[in-house]
Structure 1
Amino acid sequence: MNEISSKEFPSLFGTQKKINGNAFLTQISSWLYANCWTDLPYECQAMWQLYGSSGSNCRHTEGCVECENTQGMSVCIESTIRAVLDSLEINEDYNLSIQKVEYLDHRHTKFEDHDLISRPFFSKAMHFSYENEVRFLLWPDRKDIKFSYEHQKSSINKIKNIELNIKDINSFIGKIILSPLPFKKTKAIKDDHMEKYQSLLGLQEALSNSTLRNKIELLCAQNSIKVEIVDSDLNQTPTVDCYTFSDTQHPPSI
């Protein structure tokens, strides 16, 4: 028993007893605050579906009005790690770490003692690798937090979230990308456009999320935010005839 009790491992909150390991793994998440971003040079249709509306994981009845109302009404904020760091006010009582998430096959992955400092909190199952996530992790700078295998002996964190102030929102936001329109609405616009014009010319403009753009432009104006607002790249239409040629994308040669 003395040998078991003496074994330790390092952690974000100082050295921990291995005998308290299970309590540590199950309770440490309450002390960690995460903010997650996608590190992709392009938009991802799956990300719009999963995080762009409450309907993506709806457990309501079919045709849920609440969920349908959120479709096509989200935005993607584009920024950089440097812009985020320069814009945030971080309390000196907290630590911040930024890492790319590691995607693992947990059936064949073993964490060593030194890995327990941070690796579990920057890893996910490989099935989520399409997210290409960068995670901002914030935690209190304390060494008095206790994780105990004994019932009700662990330190309890009652602070559910931490709100960080943004010094300069215009520097924080590089670009605002509007959500693509819902599939049913997109199909209806395409069908109507083709029936009227028999060409894709002008279709991309018709697919612009003008309702959301108006709301975001008003919100930005009310808060003195001056950033670029663009439509989703998912609105692109394929070139299928000589009439859909775009001079702005492919200037004619002389």
Structure 2
Amino acid sequence: MMTYIELLNRFWHANKTERFSIGERELYYYLSNECNKNYWYMPVSCPTSVICTVTGLNKQTLMRARDNLKKRGLIDYTEGIQNSKAPTYIIIMDKDEFVTANVTGCITATKTASVTSNKDKDNIITDKSRLNDFLSIDELERKLTEDTVWQNHILSYLSNSGTTIDVSILQKFLQDFFSYLRICGYDRREEKECRSHFFNKLTKEYLNSQKHKRYDNKQSNNDKRRGIEVKDVTPRDYYTSF
């Protein structure tokens, strides 16, 4: 088994033998980061459109890069189903499954990575016991949406900090947050980390959005549109000479 640092060292060692293209490097860095964020619970689901947006690669370059990385024994992947399921990726961790390219060209790896074939693979970087805390995105959305005690803690904290929103706005932000996770290709997250991620995104992004500012300022804007006060007058007020 290999650690995260050993993976990167292996990558650069292979680069000395035969240089990786820019697309191959960008894709490998992206997948390594995604696996690390997911505590190396593989495979990870990564929509092609999201990878292209983050890395700046076009679809054709991405597909060519992942094929080459697979041939060199660095990754394995399963193609997605259009408009239904995103591609899934595995970073190959076993040293004997990794085959570097020789001078004459790239040697095809003779073994296919399989997470289920090695029960100890989850222990590479994190304790296996932590995987018990991982829940599906659907389950997390249900739990956080129904957890009114946790939501009230958030609303109370915001109120004490000078920001007041009602629970319906908070629920809307929760919906936006889980839509964001699905777009990024997350299948499972650790519950504690997911709650923390939402709170950080809420305070640093959602509450600063233009949409929220319009909501907050609705009352103040109404106050600014006050009519000009006109005193009552009578015909007698106009009898004086000019």
| Band of TM-score, shorter chain | under 0.3
Higher relative contact order (CA 8 A, sep 6+): 1
- Higher Rg of the two aligned structures: 2
Q: TM-score, normalised by structure 2?
A: 0.25
Compare the two structures and name the one with the higher strand fraction.
1
Normalised to the residue count of structure 1, the TM-score between the two structures is 0.25
- Structure having the higher helix fraction is 2
